[in-house]
Structure 1
Amino acid sequence: MIADVVIAGGGLAGAAAAADLARAGKNVTLIERETGPTHKICGEFLSSEAQASLARIGFDVGSLGGHKITALDLACGAGIITTKLPFEGLGITRYALDEALLAHAAGCGATVLRGRNISKVVAAREISLELTNQPAMDARTLFLATGKHEVRGLRRDASPPDDLVGYKMYFQLSNPAQAALAGKIALILFKDGYAGLQMVEHDQANLCLLTSRARVQKTAGKWPALLADLCLDSPYLARILPGATELLDQPLTIYRVPYGYIHHPLAADHPDIFRLGDQAGVIPSFTGDGMAIALHSAARAASMFLAGETAAAYHQRLSHDITSQIHRAGWLYRAASAPLSQGVLFKLMQAWPASLQLAARLTRVPPRARLHH
């Protein structure tokens, strides 16, 4: 039996596309490798356009009780710039959001298969998905939404990524630290990277950071030593973290993310394989718009598939939608993570605080590209 549409991956892009297609009456099967909710490396900042994308498919993200974010702290050394955001964001864990969105997709009529790992995709006339310890599945159309995970047979043609290591940890902050961070997202620059810190639901704080492999080696790969070393670099972290309790046994980690990657249509691409989310484009995490791009790609792919257009046409349109945004974010990412340029960037933003709001606008999915129905 050949499935009409299979979606590989039950993260934001995959679940949103499944809901969208099911609402349009399509038979869609989503394959997710996790059997239940799981933590993911993500800053968990949901921008206004990401919230609008969720509302478009009938999903009420406000019901999950996220933390409203209306301001930004940019910290570099002893300096701090605080400014209002040009929109209202939301801090919400992927643990809660992804699970609720999968349930929404199922409620819309999608078939959700969990605990199935795709080991390989064979893209011939029909698309065959080889599953670990399960029978293979054939599909007429595949939406590839496996996030940062590569799938054998459909690897991304990305440039060699930077030699950076990412970490994520949740904290229960002290009451004074919670009050200081309430309603804000903090971007914290240090000599070889940066961190994002914000509140999410249940009064928890999410700290995500990128740092060099050299610093990880210097601290022998030990999380407590790494965090202490970062606090020596960052007075902001040194002020916020004392008295905090870590809420995960170990931090989540990731290495060599291909920031700046954009999938452009190739002659060898299969006409019925649509790449979504990080399989289509990877924006530097510095700007906090990765979830919005994932949701936008899902909406664009579903819309164009329903209109009878090819994957190549979709990839061409999506790259047009997001290329400028990703390039601008890449420039900011490089400037903010290099010791020589980050001080210059910070002084510029101190002299012109409105530039922070401008940077936030320029690294969003552009209004002309967004789908509203």
Structure 2
Amino acid sequence: MNKFDVIIIGGGLAGLTNAIHLSKEKLNILLIEKNAYPRHKVCGEYVSNKVLPYLNHLGFNPFEFGAKQISKFELTTHNNKSISSNLPLGGFGMSRYEMDFQLYQLALKNGVEVFQDSVTDVKFENDNFQVETKSQQRFHSKMVIGAYGKRSNLDIQFNRKFIKKKSPYLGVKIHVSGNFPEDKVTLHNFNGGYCGVSKVENNHINLCYITNFKAFKKHKDIETFQEEVLFKNSELRSIFENSKSEFENPLTISQISFETKKPVENHIIMCGDTAGMIHPLCGNGMGMAIRSAQLASELIIDYLHGKIASRQKLENQYTKRWKKTFGLRLKAGHSIAYLFRQDWLAPKLLKVLHSFPFLMPQIIKMTHGKPMTAK
């Protein structure tokens, strides 16, 4: 059967969460993902506890799979100044390798059909979608959700504005084994970027950093860049030098864009990084992906059940809710990341935060949003 209620393009956190949520309503769901599960992704792998009530409602408890409880936060600057704070609501550490795989298993259990392929074309005619894949399969649906990540050839096809602009950032991730508190997430600033550190379910330490690609290109390889740039931060040097890599090679991703994107393009409801990215310095991209899936699923269910009168009203409501939920958060993330990228300014900001310790929890709340509840 090639006819579905909803087709989801992309099987990361946003796509899988949508699939599980919609399948609970007994809708006929197809999820198309180009890669096999499980697999590692370049990701900070810290999630705010604000998503836990919603995940539990979907039937997923990350702590059943060994996720680490995180309650403390530390920030250091390139000149080795630091500040610590308790996280207002806390969070958990879980690898994308494990989390995506377990959500995938739950989606299958709920009756979601998962097809491994790449989408090459999406057409919208007569109030219905036709989705074509690399293997020349054609599927039809009433709704399509775009959850295919940061950038894709589909963005070029849809003529999305952000894809035409240069994306100067590079992400690097590695898992290591060594000593690191399992209840803490840290962010370490260095010249041109910052690195997040936290433990995940198998006691590995996730090291994930983002940097300006132009600055990175001045060095001959990742090892040289780390030695000459990252390790100017003594905390980062200590972590890297006193741990053992669990990956044969680091994972990298280039052309990361934080440009503004539209939540709806060509009648496709966009979710997760496909709809917009928060700077990793603010540490809650995974939570945003899950929250955007909840917004999309709830409105799509209302539309398919006749509670929303037209597709136009659905798209307008999703756009409005998306901007209300994430607009301020994204702006705050952009501003905070910009300020901490200024090497001369970051130490001064830390002095302010030391003098007014109540500010740090407030900044965290500003970039993490409100706790999620099931509808």
TM-score where L is the length of structure 2: 0.91
The answer for the alignment partner of 2:280 in structure 1 is 285
Post-superposition CA distance 1:222-262 (Å, at most 9, x none): 12212212343201112222231111121111223222524
Question: Who is 1:256 aligned against?
Answer: 255
Moved more, 55-64 or 211-220: 211-220
CA distance in 1, matches of 2:283, 2:159: 25
Residue 80 of structure 1 corresponds to 82
Contact 2:190 2:230 in 1 (8 A): no
Instruction: Name the CA shift for 1:270/1:312 in 2 (closer, same or farther; >3 Å).
Output: farther
**1:325 maps to 2:329:** yes
Instruction: Show the counterpart of 1:17.
Output: 18
Matched AA of 2:366: L
CA distance in 2, matches of 1:156, 1:92: 32
Distance apart, 1:30 and its partner CA: 0.9
1:307 is paired with a residue whose SS is: helix
Deviations 1:94-137 (A, max 9, x none): 00000100111111221122x21112222333322221123222
Partner of residue 100 from structure 2, selected from 98, 116, 123? 98
Mapping 1:336-347, distance limit 5 Å:
336-347=340-351
The letter for the 2-side match of 1:84 is N
CA distance in 2, matches of 1:13, 1:371: 17
Q: Which residue of 2 aligns with 1:300?
A: 295
8 Å contact 1:86–1:357 — kept in the other structure? Answer: yes
- CA RMSD in angstroms comes to 1.8
1:123 aligns with 2:124: yes
Instruction: Work out the CA distance in 2 between the residues paired with 1:99 and 1:75.
Output: 33
Partner SS state of residue 149, structure 2: coil
* Cα deviation, residue 50, structure 1: 2.3
Q: How many angstroms does 1:172 deviate by? A: 1.0
In 2: Cα distance, 1:296 partner to 1:210 partner: 23
TM-score (structure 1 length as normaliser): 0.91
**Amino acid in the other structure paired with 1:164:** Y
Equivalence for 1:193: 193
SS of residue in 1 equivalent to 2:224: helix
The alpha carbon displacement at 1:356 in A equals: 1.5
1:264 Cα offset (Å): 5.0
In the TM superposition, residue 150 of structure 1 has moved relative to its aligned partner by 1.9
- Aligned positions, number: 360
Instruction: Give the C-alpha shift of residue 321 in structure 1.
Output: 1.2
How far, CA to CA, are the matches of 2:334 and 2:260 in structure 1?
A: 10
Q: Which amino acid aligns with 1:248?
A: F
**What is the letter of the counterpart of residue 277 of structure 1?**
G
> Deviation at 1:213?
2.4
Percent identity over paired residues: 24
Unaligned runs of 5+ in 1: none
Q: CA deviation at 1:347?
A: 1.9
Unaligned regions of 5+ residues in structure 2, if any?
309-313
The whole-number CA distance in structure 1 between the counterparts of 2:195 and 2:52 is 23
